Chains A and B, each alone.
Chain A
Amino acid sequence: MLKFLIKKQLLEVFRGYFYDAKKNRMRSKVQVALWIVFFIVLMVGMMGGLFTAMALSLCEGLNAAGVGWLYYTLMGFVAIVLGAFGSVFSTYSSLYLAKDNDLLLSLPIPVRTIIISRLITVFLMGAMYSAVATIPAVIVDWIITRAGVVRILGGLIWLLIITVIVMLLSVTLGWVVARISLKLKNKSIVTTLIAIAFIGLYYYVYFQAIDLIRDLLANAASYGGRIKGAAYGIYLFGRTGEGDFTAIAIFLAVTAVLCVLIWRLLSRSFLKIATTKASAPRVRYQEKTHRARGPLAALVLKELGRFTSSSNYMLNCGLGVLLIPASGIFLLVKGGEICEVLDLVFTARPDTSALLILTMVFMLSIMIDNAAPAVSLEGKSIWIPQSLPVSPGTVLRAKMVSQLILSAPLMLFAAICGAVILKTSVAVRILLVLMTLAFSVFSALFNTVIGTKLPVLTWTSELVPIKQTAAVAIALFGGWFASILPVGLYLLIGYQLGAALYLAIWTVLLCGIDLLLLRWMDSKGAAIFAAL
């Protein structure tokens, strides 16, 4: 039974790799392999590259100072933070909010078997997040120190310990979130705010990291000695990566004890939390006249209602709502100084700063991609829009407009802030704003189109359509690629045209693509949606 449940869990998490929703059939082995390679390239290339650079900057200096253990300690903490905080909310959802909890609990399956199968998913998600930091860390260390068998073995055990710690932390934090959620009134809003606070803290530490690393490398031996004296456990943790058998034995034992404790906590509380509904106060209905709206407005409001009802949805597809206006204010405060420096750096390519401002706004806008999972989120309720007297094109337009409502005004604000601080021609400033608007429409259309092309309607946790589908991955990485393309081409050849003409061409091009995407959405997209 456990084997079957684990298989079900894994199939759900990795469904997009094995199943072609469009053709309603399993993918071939070649297609599966290509999808997996694509994912690995994205993870290793984008995130792994970041942590490889971090590992390279730390490893040699710390080993030369004789505190190689500190390298493993630091990289270990980074991986734990990344893994645990990256998966804490998905842990809560996949453990306690899975739609098939009731079904499985009604079957003659021991509760512990259900918990173990859920934990495997949590373990894998945490492992995927933490591996982005741990794998580059051990590889860099092995190469730089020319590691022997003992060090390699130590590195592998360090990696395993971290993965288990990440799972234990995720489960503990998920349990805390679940306990709080049972008592909260505006659950989705509070959960989102807590998560944003965590993310803010994470990025604060991340941006301080360069200074911290520089300071640490300059005083490695001194810090190492002080940490070893004051917190011997942290020293031992780092020593596991270097292959110290005593440290390995102690940490394996500590991890095993923690596993037992967390298991006891989970097995005692799982059933209660998974089957208890939040104690929301009963709202009494008071009749009042509702303002009548048109079908499109009703559908758009429905989409926005769906968005604000779920912390998962808001966190994963709406972070840009905070970051874009923050970037606008940042531009007003610091933008002038930064642009002056940029103008000095790119003297041969004038107005590069305008293109870089665009890139920043575009990249942040990609973090508003609520249209990408919107079709998949219809799930079993898809019969409602399909049976209502609205064309499928109108349903898709509503999804597109809901993203546009969230992103376009904020992007416009940030672009105007950029235009204000730029020391350039009026034409460039106006085109900066116009191109931003054209890009916001492009992004909303592209996400709707990709969400319609690659829908996943059969899911038991909303995290699947929100985080784990090919549509969302393509929206994110494709969007980032589209964001950097204009500045990349400008630096290569575009500058020869002059910024005004270059931006004008891009604006017209984007408007053209917008029209093509709109046409596709209204014709082929509508046909696909009607046939789902």
Chain B
Amino acid sequence: MLIIEHLTKRYGEKTAVDDLSLHIQPGEIYGFIGHNGAGKTTTLKSIVGILRFEEGRITIDGHSVMEEPVACKKMLAYIPDNPDLYDFMSGIKYLNFIADVFGIPADVRQERIRKYADLLELTNDLAQPISAYSHGMKQKLAVIAAWIHSPKLIVMDEPFVGLDPKASHLLKEMMREHCDAGGAIFFSTHVLEVAEKLCDKVAIIKQGRLIKAGTMEEVKGDDSLEEVFLELEAE
């Protein structure tokens, strides 16, 4: 589904991501962990085509992000760490805007909006302007916008920040359901307990370099993910 090969991204003199390679298969929830400034967001933004990178290759279902960006973006959805949405729109207008861009037929989008807005308890607020939304409500709207076009790959940057416990639980269920249906999810998080329980595979990045990746069992063995992470960070 998602293949990252030797990704290197530099900001001037600083190398933010250094020779990173990962392979995410359909059906996998893949966690991406690392300290602040490790290069997680840079990697995620490179995958979704927001950031250009100097070296390496990223492909989604065989399409290169650099050479066929539109084809890749049709297959993916992205939720950033801070969902700065269009404040001047109402929630429903934003969802319809996203659905229009992805070419989702009217009846299909209506059904999906109903399903996910009801699930995340946002239906009553859909006519409100986004400027009146709380951070959590914006996050929920971004989640619905991501799911509205049934993407193959969902890329999320700290998706649980700002969500209430119930919405977090629902999002986890939505993620599992998406992957059980053959999709894939690649997300960054600092909440190691969530990563440990939810992810099929996990990658740990430190100062731009991948230091460990694999199935949860391969990465943590008999220890907790937190212990492994702190140990690797200390090295």
Q: Does A225 contact B (CB under 8 A)?
A: no
| Nearest Cβ on chain B to A308's Cβ, whole angstroms | 9
Known: A284-B124, A285-B126, A298-B101. A384 touches B85 (CB 8 A): yes
Q: Is the CB of A389 within 8 A of B74?
A: yes
Known: A285-B127, A387-B73. A530 touches B85 (CB 8 A): no
Which residues on the A side are within 8 Å of B136 (C-beta)? none
Q: Does B153 contact A (CB under 8 A)?
A: no
Q: From residue 93 to 123 of chain B, which have CB atoms closer than 8 A to chain A?
A: 93, 96-107, 109-110, 114, 123
Which residues on the A side are within 8 Å of B132 (C-beta)? 277, 280
Q: Is the CB of A379 within 8 A of B84?
A: yes
Q: Is the CB of A293 within 8 A of B100?
A: yes
| Nearest Cβ on chain A to B134's Cβ, whole angstroms | 12
Q: From residue 285 to 336 of chain A, which have CB atoms closer than 8 A to chain B?
A: 285-287, 289-295, 297-299, 301-302, 305-306, 309-310
Which residues on the A side are within 8 Å of B99 (C-beta)? 290, 292
Which residues on the A side are within 8 Å of B107 (C-beta)? 289
Q: From residue 16 to 48 of chain B, which have CB atoms closer than 8 A to chain A?
A: 45, 48
Q: Is the CB of A285 within 8 A of B101?
A: no
Which residues on the A side are within 8 Å of B80 (C-beta)? 383
Contacting residue for B52 out of A297, A381, A389, A531, CB 8 A: A531
A389–B105 alpha-carbon span in the complex (Å): 16
Q: Is the CB of A290 within 8 A of B110?
A: yes
A272–B44 alpha-carbon span in the complex (Å): 40
Q: Is the CB of A390 within 8 A of B101?
A: yes
A379–B88 alpha-carbon span in the complex (Å): 13
Q: Nearest CB to that of A291 among chain B residues?
A: B106
Contacting residue for A389 out of B73, B89, B90, B124, CB 8 A: B73
Q: Nearest CB to that of B90 among chain A residues?
A: A283
Q: Does B61 contact A (CB under 8 A)?
A: no
A48–B84 alpha-carbon span in the complex (Å): 41
Which residues on the A side are within 8 Å of B85 (C-beta)? 381, 384
Q: Is the CB of A292 within 8 A of B101?
A: no
Most buried by B among A277, A284, A287, A383: A383
Q: Does A388 contact B (CB under 8 A)?
A: yes
Most buried by B among A283, A306, A380: A283
A163–B182 alpha-carbon span in the complex (Å): 67
CB-defined interface of A331-347 with B at 8 Å, one 1/0 digit per residue?
A: 00000000000000000
Known: A292-B104, A389-B70, A390-B70. A381 touches B125 (CB 8 A): no
Contacting residue for B73 out of A289, A301, A309, A388, CB 8 A: A388
Q: Is the CB of A282 within 8 A of B86?
A: no
A277–B89 alpha-carbon span in the complex (Å): 17
| Nearest Cβ on chain B to A401's Cβ, whole angstroms | 15
| Nearest Cβ on chain B to A97's Cβ, whole angstroms | 11
Q: Does A461 contact B (CB under 8 A)?
A: no
Q: Does A460 contact B (CB under 8 A)?
A: no
Which residues on the A side are within 8 Å of B100 (C-beta)? 292-295, 297-298
Q: Nearest CB to that of B95 among chain A residues?
A: A290
Q: Does A255 contact B (CB under 8 A)?
A: no
Q: Is the CB of B78 within 8 A of A284?
A: no
| Nearest Cβ on chain B to A295's Cβ, whole angstroms | 5
Which residues on the B side are within 8 Å of A280 (C-beta)? 129, 132
Q: Does A93 contact B (CB under 8 A)?
A: no
Q: A residues touching B (Cβ–Cβ < 8 Å)?
A: 277, 280, 282-287, 289-295, 297-299, 301-302, 305-306, 309-310, 379-381, 383-384, 386-391, 530-531
Q: 22 A-B pairs, CB-CB below 8 angstroms?
A: A283-B90, A285-B91, A285-B128, A287-B110, A292-B99, A292-B100, A292-B105, A292-B109, A302-B97, A305-B86, A305-B89, A306-B88, A309-B88, A380-B84, A381-B84, A383-B50, A388-B98, A388-B102, A389-B70, A389-B72, A390-B70, A530-B52
